[in-house]
């Protein structure tokens, strides 16, 4: 049985016509990533549905590596409004498209990549440090 990831990858493969060069795919992927970033920034600066409240973390000396998960946070306050959510989802979809195109061009399965990453995360748990 095919997964959603496999089906998505097949659809991308059938639709990618203009940007088949690895160079096009890489540059379009970077552009898509920048558009995601821009959409998040605009949610803060233009819409205001979310805000960023950041400051230096005060980490207790006795804190363990596992404790950091509960000490650190996203610095985000608020919730995306429906308009910003839709814009960011659209931009993320485009980014996923170019990730799938890159995987196709390199002969990789997104599903296998995700499964390997999931296994690595399960094995390393909090010690993965990303």
User: Which residues are registered as beta bridge partners of 77?
Assistant: 51
In the chain, the number of structural domains is: 1
Tell me what the mean pLDDT of segment 45-55 comes to: 97
CATH number of the domain enclosing 44: 1.10.287.1080
Residue 1 has pLDDT above 50, yes or no: no
Neighbours of 101 (CB within 10 A): 23
What is the domain extent for residue 109? 4-128
pTM recorded for the entire structure: 0.84
Q: Residue 19, SS3? A: coil
The DSSP symbol for 36 reads: H
Q: Do the strands 50-52 and 76-78 form a parallel or antiparallel pair, or are they unpaired?
A: antiparallel
pLDDT tens digits along 69-92: 889 999 999 999 999 999 999 999
Worst-scoring range by mean pLDDT, 38-42, 54-58, 84-88? 54-58
């Amino acid at each position: 049985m095919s997964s959603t990831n496999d089906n998505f990858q097949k659809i991308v493969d059938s639709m990618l016509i203009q940007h088949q060069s690895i160079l096009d795919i890489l540059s379009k992927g970077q552009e898509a990533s920048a558009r995601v970033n821009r959409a998040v920034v605009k949610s803060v600066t233009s819409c205001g549905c979310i805000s960023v409240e950041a400051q230096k973390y005060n980490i207790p000396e006795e804190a363990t590596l596992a404790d950091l998960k509960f000490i650190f946070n996203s610095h985000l306050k608020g919730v995306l409004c429906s308009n910003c959510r839709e814009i960011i989802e659209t931009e993320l979809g485009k980014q996923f498209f170019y990730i799938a195109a890159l995987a196709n061009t390199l002969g990789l399965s997104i599903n296998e990549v995700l499964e390997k990453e999931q296994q690595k995360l399960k094995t390393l748990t909090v010690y993965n440090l990303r």
